[in-house]
Amino acid sequence: MSAHEESGPRDRMIHPDVAKAGDESERGQDGRRLDHAEATTRPIGAEPKAKAVREAQPRGAKIRGNRPIDQAEAAERFLAAPLHQKAHDERLWDLRKKRDTAAFGIPEWEELRDLASQIKAHTLSNLDRYLEEFEANAKANGVHVHWAADGAEHNRIVHGILKDHGAKSLIKSKSMLTEECGFRHYMAGTGIEVIETDLGERIQQLDNEEPSHVVVPAVHKTRFDVAAVFAKTMGTDPENDDAHYLAESQRMHTRPLILEADAGMTGCNFAIAETGTVVTCTNEGNADLSGNVPKLQIHSIGIEKLIPRIEHLGVFLRLLARSALGSPITQYTSHFRAPREGSEMHYVLVDNGRSERLGMEEFWTSLKCIRCGACMNTCPVYRRSGGLSYGATYSGPIGLIIDPTFNKRKYSTLPFSSTMNGSCTNVCPVKINIHEQIFAWRKVLAEEHQIPLLKQGMMKAAGQVLSRPATYRAAIGAADSALRALPRFAVYNPLNTWGKGREMPDSPRQSFHSWYKQNRMDKKPETDA
């Protein structure tokens, strides 16, 4: 029996180019490498003939002030890069499959989803009370609590804290809230250096890009891309795209910056009202470094992250890692409750439109989101178009319902970037009805004329046809006849957006209505003798 066969089925899931002998990956008591939801796709360039393959990374949507994001244009550029598109699709589908394995591995999965959804609904329905309880307990623990109405105020508060302490450098762990607030861009003009400690976030920072995914920020990049970024910014070997070499290079480059930082900052996965505690979940331990190495600690908290009691945390922890990565738990679940002796701790509670969204009858449940990214991993549009094509902090299905709450005009096109297949709702650990909210946003945007005039005209014309059965049947018959008779260039033209990037379905010889009329209508039902 070969050594590979002796390693067992779990190790066989890992490609040999990734599971190198002598690596430092975590191992169990039996000496075998632990499976923490490593992707199972073959690494790009694993075969020698593919080593020379290089492809420029597609960039994200073009931001033109307040003009609507052209997600379709950015998606086309991503689709035109087959190496990136294929890798992105496969990586995220791996996470989706691992999520399914982890979820159905525990019999109480659906019960946990129900319970988490109920806890979130209860908390959001009593948010004012739990925020006051959280603040009171945090202050009793010696924490300074600040309130920010929007992203700009959050940035000014944090800047003020840093300035008061004479801080010149800040290390921070991954935080979608700070991305939402534009924190790094704001700090760029203050003279205070901000260093991301999450590997994916650091890659994106060095490449001057936003994160493309709420959990894996640089998932759209190949290791060739990362090698090029590190060579340009850290002086590494541009020809060495080995993942171990790249990760270790980043670690050695960033660790001195962490040890010398004047302040640390983390986001927040869950804020516990009962104890005034902030909980963060990471797989790299970077939140622990950011929250413990410097003497000044700052934690940015979206007000929707509240849960009532410590006992509720276990429900969400069992759902989060399984939904995000297919792992039973994250490597590090860190609790920040009070400042250490000789240090200072600050909480910044941020609204930034959340209170307004809480009053939206059809969209308030989007505040239940725990940022696991499961809806993104399963979405066929997101997987094939890349997160940067959405031009927003939150991409994929959850972004389609969150982004318009920030700016209806700018993100008016996003709710139409969906096939409405409902898979996002099926995998959501807190049971947000995502696809129904996407459809609801389409109605709102149409009613408020936030969609292009051409699309408005087409939808109005379609409505006229669909509301008249005789007209509809005549149109269907004419369209079927045209598809069978017209040459290809006449069918696949710029006006036929359905035929862009896909083949039109074969035209049936007979409509269902015609068949039903011929075979079923006016026929008496059979009766028992």
- CA-closest candidate to residue 416, choices 176, 69, 76: 69
For position 152, what pLDDT does the model report?
Answer: 97
For position 488, what pLDDT does the model report?
Answer: 81
Which of 28-42, 339-353, 461-475 holds the top average pLDDT?
339-353
Residue 132 has pLDDT above 50, yes or no: yes
Residue 456 has pLDDT above 90, yes or no: no
Residue 13 has pLDDT above 50, yes or no: no
Q: Which helix (H) or strand (E) holds 272?
A: strand 270-272
For position 460, what pLDDT does the model report?
Answer: 79
Question: SS3 of 195, please?
Answer: strand
- Mean pLDDT over residues 321-335, rounded? 93
For position 500, what pLDDT does the model report?
Answer: 74
For position 287, what pLDDT does the model report?
Answer: 92
Q: Which helix (H) or strand (E) holds 423?
A: helix 423-427
For position 308, what pLDDT does the model report?
Answer: 98
Higher-confidence residue: 395 or 457? 395
Q: What is the pLDDT of residues 419-442, one digit of tens each?
A: 999 999 999 999 999 999 999 999
Q: Break the chain into its structural domains and give their ranges.
A: 35-45+68-451, 453-521
Across-strand partners of 345?
297
Confidence at 450, pLDDT banded by 50, 70, 90: confident
Residue 24 has pLDDT above 50, yes or no: no
Which of 356-360, 475-479, 497-501 holds the top average pLDDT?
356-360
**What fold does the segment set 35-45+68-451 form as a domain?**
Rossmann fold (3.40.50)
In contact, 413 and 398? CB cutoff 8 Å: no
Looking at the chain, the whole-number percentage of residues with pLDDT higher than 70 is 88
Residue 524 has pLDDT above 80, yes or no: no
Q: What is the pLDDT of residues 289-317, one digit of tens each?
A: 999 999 999 999 999 999 999 999 999 99
- Mean pLDDT over residues 146-168, rounded? 98
Higher-confidence residue: 24 or 13? 24
Higher-confidence residue: 68 or 26? 68
Longest dimension (CA), the chain: 95
- CA-closest candidate to residue 328, choices 6, 61, 86, 109: 109
For position 315, what pLDDT does the model report?
Answer: 97
Residue entry with tokens 């399914």? 100
d(CA 385, CA 382): 5
For position 508, what pLDDT does the model report?
Answer: 81
Higher-confidence residue: 38 or 498? 498
Q: What is the pLDDT of residues 371-396, one digit of tens each?
A: 999 999 999 999 999 999 999 999 99
Q: What does the angle CA 323 – CA 360 – CA 430 come to, to the nearest 5 degrees? A: 15
Query: What is the overall mean pLDDT for the chain?
Result: 88
- CA-closest candidate to residue 334, choices 274, 289, 276: 289
Q: What is the pLDDT of residues 58-101, one digit of tens each?
A: 999 999 999 999 999 999 999 999 999 999 999 999 999 999 99
For position 38, what pLDDT does the model report?
Answer: 45
Residue 301 backbone dihedrals phi, psi, to 5 degrees:
-135, 120
Confidence at 32, pLDDT banded by 50, 70, 90: low
What CA–CA distances, in Å, run from 310 to 116, 243, 314? 13, 38, 8
Burial of 253 from C-beta contacts in 10 A (0-12 / 13-18 / 19+): middle
Contacts of 225 (CB under 8 A, 6+ apart): 57, 207
Higher-confidence residue: 482 or 218? 218
Residue 519 has pLDDT above 90, yes or no: no
d(CA 439, CA 460): 17
